[in-house]
Amino acid sequence: MVAMFLHIVAHNVKNRVIQREFMRSGETISRHFNMVLLAVIRLHDELLKKPQPNCLGALDETYIKVNVPTSDRARYRTRKGEVATNVLGVCDTKGDFVYVLAGWEGSVADSRILLDAISRPNGLKVSKGYYYLVYAGNPNADGFLTPYRGQRYHLQEWRGAENAPSTSKEFFNMKNSSTRNIIERAFGVLKGRWAILREKSYYPVKVQSRTILTCCLLHNLINREMTNFDIEDNIDEVDSTHATTAADDIHYIETSNEWTQWRDDLSEEMFTVWELRN
């Protein structure tokens, strides 16, 4: 049962392939797949990593292709034309997932998905004084720390001694980007392990959303049991000689003024979405 499930998520093969490999009926394979899927999800309290104080980790969204009816494809179509679900992933500083929200349509903005995550009764929680690193598309607010806008940010922009940061804000952005890159690497490892996340699967979107969460839980389990495993950083650390003066040091970062308005506007949008869905 478990072997069939792992074979499907690791190689993204059709039911008839598993029938031939394991000599079982299609109904048996489908039933066993869903039994293992739900069993792993029930372990989420055990397998989801508990965040640590201060910088809790980083969050980002990623697209995962899905199989939906023709009538729903427009809502799931991304800006690049792919039919996918927009998945919010939150990980700690070691690359273990602490929160995952799958199922939103690919056309939905990242900020709306984040609002949904923090608005749910059992959603993403950030204790006062702690924060997650986020990219510049989100407001700088309590619990979410963005880079400075209008400054260099992406890691490739810092390569080479001639590109070393020249101000405290640039240095902050470099460190922010380097640390937040852990979520991008976690997504890379996740999709590298499970082929079912690299191409659209053969299951309904509801089952696919559960599969995404299950793969994240198994990702954490593998990281826990394989003590010698670590997510490799393929981007060289920038050797910066930048030093700030006392007047140049950053002591406190103000939250952005648009945070309250951003939440109010999106809350109104979310109420409309929930009405339509219910």
Residue 172: pLDDT band by 50, 70, 90 thresholds? Answer: confident
Q: How far apart are CA 85 and CA 61, in angstroms?
A: 10
Residue 208: predicted pLDDT:
92
pLDDT (tens digit, 9 = 90+) per residue, 173-232?
A: 888 788 888 999 999 999 999 999 998 888 888 899 999 999 999 999 998 887 655 555
Decide if 63 contacts 78 (C-beta within 8 A). Answer: yes
Q: Which of 7-11, 81-85, 151-155 has the lowest mean pLDDT?
A: 151-155
Helices 205-225, 26-41: axis angle to 10 degrees equals: 60
The pTM for the full model equals 0.75
Inform me whether the pLDDT recorded for 254 exceeds 80: no
| 3-class DSSP assignment, residue 94 | coil
First to last CA, the chain: 35
From the centroid of its chain, how far is CA 105? 15
Q: What residue type is 258 in one-letter code?
A: E
Q: How far apart are CA 177 and CA 165, in angstroms?
A: 13
Residue 275: predicted pLDDT:
38
Question: What percent of the chain is modeled with pLDDT above 70?
Answer: 79
Q: 46-59 as b/e, with b when 16 or more CB fall inside 10 Å?
A: ebbbebeeebbbbb
Residue 99: predicted pLDDT:
93
Residue 269: predicted pLDDT:
47
Q: Pick the residue with more confidence: 265 or 179? A: 179
Q: Which of 8-12, 47-51, 88-92, 209-213 has the lowest mean pLDDT?
A: 47-51
Decide if 236 contacts 63 (C-beta within 8 A). Answer: no
The chain-wide mean pLDDT, for the chain, equals 80
Residue 130: pLDDT band by 50, 70, 90 thresholds? Answer: confident
Residue 127: predicted pLDDT:
83
Q: Which of 12-16, 45-49, 100-104, 209-213 has the lowest mean pLDDT?
A: 45-49
Decide if 231 contacts 189 (C-beta within 8 A). Answer: yes
Domain boundaries, the chain: 1-42, 48-236+249-277
